[in-house]
Structure formats: structure tokens, C-alpha cells
Amino acid sequence: MKSPEHARFTSGETDPVWIHKVPYDSMPRFSKLDRDLETDVCVIGAGISGISTAYELVTRGLNVVLIESREVLSGESGRTSGHLASDLDDGYPEIAKKHGDKGARLAAESHQWALNRVGELSKQHGIECEYRQLPGYDFSQYPKGTKEHADDIRTIIEEGRKAKEVGLEAEYKEGFKLRGWDGAIDQSDAVIYANQATFHPTKYLVGLLEFLKQQPNFSCYTNTRCMDVSEKGVEILGMGHKDVYVKTIDGHTIKCADAVEATMIPLQKLSVIAQEEYFRTYCIAARVPKGSIEDCLFYDSAEIYKYVRLTACDEKSDYLVVGGGDHKVGQDDTLAPFKELEEWTLARFPQVQSIDYKWSGQVNEPVDFMAFIGLNQGMKHVYIITGDSGNGLTHGVLAGKIIADDISGENNPWSEVYDPKRVASMLKSLPSIISHDLQINAQYKRFLQSDITDIEDLVPGDGGVLNTKTSSPLAVYKDEGGRVHKFSALCPHLKGVVCWNKAEKSWDCPVHGSRFSRDGVQLCGPAKGGLGPADEGGEESQKQAIEG
């Protein structure tokens, strides 16, 4: 069992493979904000979106303050699979249906720019982050000769054709042969996407932070939780200006001309939050002999698809990173996906020596497949970055350019397809929005349900929700020493009843994806604070829960 301090460094009980090369104690450390500040831009969130945005702004000469509620890279950027792809998860035929051919081309162009940008900055700043461009193979999940395989291949070919039409290099090839994939029983035919990439995400982001630390117009504060972002002043028809005020949980204020919420999910009640769905996603890292498997990206055609890549382990071994098993937050078994990934991997790669890492992360799926990057709805100087749609790394990098261009007064053609205020694609997505809303409303039935009937039934290290019938539901956790910890089970955001995540030993809200450590500390928004005490004792008690 990890100590409560572990939640400062990552958003789960498990650890990702990236700490094999970059352990938590080697990452840059910054002090906590202890005073009011003024700056040009305040960026909230020190993951790939926030760091990329800060970089693009700082290198244009703007003064930037970056704040993070815990430590840098403690959110989802440190728990990814490390793919950099312009071959987007949702597929260009589906993207074109929502955004037209122009929108699909803009999406392809922007993501290709993003993966190239990582390579460019790695070289420019001498960041050794294992960056390399590789082909990506999109293949059928079914054995060749079956009807399912034939149907799959038709879909894969159509996706490749559309990808080529919008500007990517894609080619269908039958009977491909790759080193080390001989045991892959589904290996046969694939569309091959050129110029995809991979890297070590934390090595790259630590490298950018080390550069930023040397810049006089940059400062960063960690363990500094944002509680409110507001605009004040008058701005009409280009006259006047609204200043932005970022308030922290400790009562300090950062006054700025513009603010960027790079928080994965905006810290607000609804608007774009209701246009996204929230998923848990899973990865394992299997040790294999170095050089025994072709260095490439590989993904199958399953609805909940598997994706594969390599990262360095040591002089004798590589790690085969395999991901998949996605399901909606708080709505499925959180241990079963690891078992499924292990079985899938061992059935196809007999050279696997051991499974050394297992971890999970979180992704947001916009109903129209494109992230929300730009000015927040109803705001003039507050920007948001959310809705990674399974491509959070490239979305984070391209978001930095879109927002820096806008703040600098430069036109960016990509901003149209990512605009948080877009209407046309949302109208085309109304059936999905309605279905999502119905599913969300169904989660409130948990107010009357229990995971456990008696606290005594909990084994050490486990948790569950107890409906007392006489008061609000309780989130109950029994630590390894047998001590019982009780919190309100109501998410501070919109009072959804949280669920116990056995894999990550966290409390996850199935309504809008907020997450909390086993001790009630907020790990992921849109909730702004931690779980309240068992008596729902108000703001001061929530503050104490956050601060431990």
C-alpha cells in the first residue's frame, strides 16, 4: 500500500512504466504560491497541455505563471501510453461526418504538426526522450479467412482512404511481416500509416520544464490549487478590458490578462462538460528481449481496441506497452482490464519475460470527436483545453499553439474545428448528447444503493459506498492497519455518488469523471475540492480533506 503522499505525484495507486526511467523524486520541484501576483497569462495545470501552452507563450515574450494543484505531471500526462498519432482514434470517416472534409483536414494537419513539434523541440533543446517517427499498423482483430476479418478489412481500408484524402500517408498492405510479431495470431493485413511517432512523455516534459525554469518571464508554483477563475471589468465592442482573477484555495489571487485552464476538465458546473464522456483506460508494460520485436505502432480494430508500442527498459530488454480495456468512469470492474490485456499479450508474444507495470488513466471523449480548445463559453479571456478523445498528447501540444496564437493576435486556421463554442457539429451530435444525458441521470440511482452492507465486511485496503438509509451515502475506506475512514460519498461537483476503484484505490464519480484519492483528496476535476467529511461539513471541512 502506497503512502498518502503518493497522491501528490500521480493520480492512482498504480505506477506507470515511465517512472522506470524518470522516478517521481527526479522530477522538477517548485514552491507553493504564498502571495498575490500579476502576470500576462496564468496557466492552470502542469501536464502536457499546460506545459506546452506555457512554452509557446514564454518563447513569444509573454510573462507566464504556471500553477499545479499537486506536483508537476501528477495528472494524466504521466499515465499515458506514449503514442503520438495523427491517425486519430475516431477515424476520419466519422470525423468528416461531424465536421466536414475541411474539418477533417484541419484535424489531420494539426495532429501531424503536433507530433512533428515534439521531435523539433526535443532536438532544439537536446531532450533525450526516445522520440522517433514510426509506421502505425491498423489491422483486423479477427483471423484471416473469416467473415469478420473481411468486414473489418473493408472498414480499415475505408478509414485509410479517408485519411489519405485529408492529407496523411496511408497504404493498405496484405500479408505484412514484422520481426517478433510471428506469434500475433491476428497479424495479416493492415493499413500502414507513415510518419506516426512515439516518445517518453515525462522525459520530454521534464526537458521543457528545465528550459522554462531558466527563463526570466516564467514561474511555476505547485501544491497551489485553483478554486475560481473570473473576469472583472468592462469590455464592449473592443473598448476596455476585462482582467482575469485566478483565486487559490489558500486565498491568494493571480491577476492576469488571460488565463488558460489546462486541467483536463474545466473547473465549472456544465457547458462543455456535458458534451464529453469520461473513460478509464488501461496499460501494461511487458519485458521482452531487446530487439526481439519490430519498433512500430500497432492497433487492432476492436471497438475497445488494443494498441502496442515499445519503450526502453535496459541494455538487455525493452518494454512492450499494451493498452486498451476502456470503460466509462465508475461503471465497470477496474481489475478485469489488466487481466484481459495480459491474456491478449501473452497469447501473441511468447517472448514476454514478465509483466512489470500495470496502470490506468483517464480520457475524455467529446460527442463530436474533437477537443475543446479556445475561449471558454461566455468568456473573453479565459481559455480551456479539454476533450482529448484518446489523443491527449498531440491535443496538448497543438493546443499550446492555438491558444498562444490567439493571445498573440495571430490567426490560426485550426481554431475553427476546436472552438468550444462550435454549434454545427454539436447539432449533428444531438442523439449522442441525449443518450449521454440519460446515462448520466441514471447514475443518480446510486443515491439509494450500497456497495457494502456492513463496514465490518471490508477487508484492509478496500473501500465501498454504504447507504445508511438515514443520511447521505458514505464513502468508507479501511486502511491496511484496519482503521476505518469515512467521507461523504457525494461528489462536490454535482452530488453524484462516487464509486470505489479497486485498481487505483480511488473514489471515482460516474457523472462527470471527478476523482479523489482514498483519503478524499481531489485528483481530477471538474470538482474543485475533495470529498467532504461524513457529515458534509461545509467548505472548511472540504479544505481540510484536500490538505490531508
Q: Measuring CA to CA, which residue among 390, 189, 389 is closest to residue 300? A: 189
* Three cell numbers written together for 314: 535496459
**Under a CB-based contact definition with an 8 Å cutoff, are residues 498 and 475 in contact?**
yes
- Which is it for the CA torsion 513, 518, 521, 523, positive or negative? negative
Using DSSP, state whether 430 is helix, strand or coil: helix
Can you name the CATH fold of 20-81+202-275+369-432?
Answer: FAD/NAD(P)-binding domain (3.50.50)
* Three cell numbers written together for 304: 475497445
User: What is the per-residue pLDDT for 537?
Assistant: 38
CA distance 267 to 315: 44
Cα-to-chain-centroid distance, residue 101: 27
- Which is it for the CA torsion 105, 107, 110, 113, positive or negative? negative
Rg (CA), the chain: 23
**Under a CB-based contact definition with an 8 Å cutoff, are residues 100 and 158 in contact?**
no
* Three cell numbers written together for 126: 537536446
Q: What CATH number does domain 130-198+278-365 carry, 3.40.50.720, 3.30.9.10, 3.40.50.300, 3.40.50.20?
A: 3.30.9.10
User: What is the per-residue pLDDT for 454?
Assistant: 82
**DSSP type of residue 217:** T
**Under a CB-based contact definition with an 8 Å cutoff, are residues 528 and 542 in contact?**
no
Residue 8 CB partners (closer than 8 Å, separation 6+): 70, 71, 74, 223
CA distance 516 to 45: 17
Half-sphere exposure of 44 (CA within 13 A, CB side): 33
List, in sequence order, every residue forming a beta bridge with 508; answer none if it has no partner.
499, 515
User: What is the per-residue pLDDT for 185?
Assistant: 56
CA distances from 53 to 158, 354, 474, 535 (A): 35, 38, 39, 40
User: What is the per-residue pLDDT for 191?
Assistant: 94
- Per-residue pLDDT of the chain (548 residues), as tens digits, is 678 788 899 999 999 999 999 999 999 999 999 999 999 999 999 999 999 999 999 999 999 999 999 999 999 999 999 999 999 988 999 999 999 999 999 999 999 999 999 999 999 999 999 999 999 999 888 877 788 888 989 999 999 999 999 999 999 998 877 888 765 555 678 999 999 999 999 999 999 999 999 999 999 999 999 999 999 887 766 666 779 999 999 999 999 999 999 998 887 666 788 888 899 999 999 999 999 999 999 888 877 789 999 999 999 999 999 999 999 998 889 999 999 999 999 988 999 999 999 999 999 999 888 999 999 988 999 999 999 888 999 999 999 999 999 999 999 999 999 999 997 777 776 777 667 666 666 666 665 566 777 888 899 999 989 887 767 889 999 998 899 999 999 999 888 899 999 999 999 999 888 999 999 988 988 888 889 887 653 333 333 333 33
Peptide bond into 526 cis (omega under 30): yes
The H-or-E segment that residue 471 falls in is none
Top CATH class, 444-547: mainly beta
Do the first three CATH levels of 20-81+202-275+369-432 and 444-547 match, i.e. the same topology? no
> In 237-313, which ranges are E strands?
239-248, 253-264, 276-289, 297-299, 307-312
> β-strand 474-478 against 132-139: which pairing, if any?
unpaired
Report how far apart the first and last C-alpha atoms of the chain are (Å, whole number).
17
- Domain map of the chain by residue range? 20-81+202-275+369-432, 130-198+278-365, 444-547
User: What is the per-residue pLDDT for 189?
Assistant: 85
* Sheet strands side by side (includes 515-517): 499-501, 506-508, 515-517, 522-524
